């Protein structure tokens, strides 16, 4: 049990590091980076691999650390709202995936879609609060554009890449207890 906990802490650190570095691949063109949401990938993987508590912590810390270290995304409002969104991604991915006795492709996709929907709803709620504090309205059009319309490339990327990585980790023996 202690070995598994240590392994999850080490993996969580690695997922944070990947979350800090991965956006540099798309950082030269901010529109592509926003569309592909590269920071979401290691957070979702952390939830699947390490479980919900680790996914929640990694998801909350990654955008805040990246903002503090590299000033991207901007801390307020973007990184703050992303912290709640990504914390939800990591926690939901870990909690929902644990409910499945068979860890198959259907379980992965159901978990992934549910986690992404939950995260987007939490992002919308956080945005309403944060933008409201700034005295700016956060409209339904802003929510739909940010959470779904502009996010389609990232959603597709996540639906292809995350199951592929999870299957590779399973086949390599990394995910076996």
Residue 66: per-residue pLDDT? 96
Residues contacting 68, CB < 8 A, separation 6+ = 75
Q: Angle of helix 80-99 relative to helix 105-134, nearest 10 degrees?
A: 160
CA 47 to chain CA centroid, nearest Å: 9
Distance CA 123, CA 11 (A): 25
Task: Supply the pLDDT for residue 96.
Answer: 97
The per-residue pLDDT for 177 is: 52
In tens digits, the chain (177 residues) has pLDDT values of 788 899 999 999 999 999 999 998 887 777 777 788 899 999 999 999 999 999 999 999 999 999 999 998 889 998 999 999 999 999 999 999 999 988 899 999 999 999 999 999 999 999 999 999 988 888 898 998 888 888 899 999 999 999 999 999 988 887 765
Are the CB atoms for 58 and 16 separated by under 8 Å? Answer: yes
Per-residue confidence (pLDDT) for residue 80, from 0 to 100:
95
At 176 the pLDDT is 61
Contact yes or no for 42/19 (Cβ under 8 A) = yes
Q: Which domains does the chain have, with CATH numbers?
A: 2-172 (1.10.1760.20)
């Amino acid at each position: 049990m202690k070995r598994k906990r240590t392994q999850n802490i080490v993996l969580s650190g690695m997922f944070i590091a990947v979350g800090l570095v991965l956006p540099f691949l798309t950082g030269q063109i901010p529109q592509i980076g926003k569309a592909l949401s590269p920071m979401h990938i290691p957070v979702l993987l952390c939830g699947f691999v390490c479980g919900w508590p680790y996914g929640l912590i990694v998801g909350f810390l990654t955008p805040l650390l990246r903002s503090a270290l590299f000033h991207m995304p901007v801390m307020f409002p973007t990184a703050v709202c992303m912290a709640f969104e990504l914390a939800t991604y990591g926690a939901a991915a870990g909690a929902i995936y644990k409910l499945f006795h068979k860890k198959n492709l259907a379980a992965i996709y159901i978990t992934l879609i549910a986690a992404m929907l939950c995260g987007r709803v939490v992002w919308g709620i956080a945005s309403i609060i944060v933008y409201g504090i700034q005295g700016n309205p956060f409209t339904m059009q802003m929510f739909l554009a940010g959470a779904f319309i502009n996010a389609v490339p990232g959603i597709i990327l996540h639906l292809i890449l995350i199951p592929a990585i999870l299957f590779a980790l399973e086949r390599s023996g990394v995910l076996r207890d």
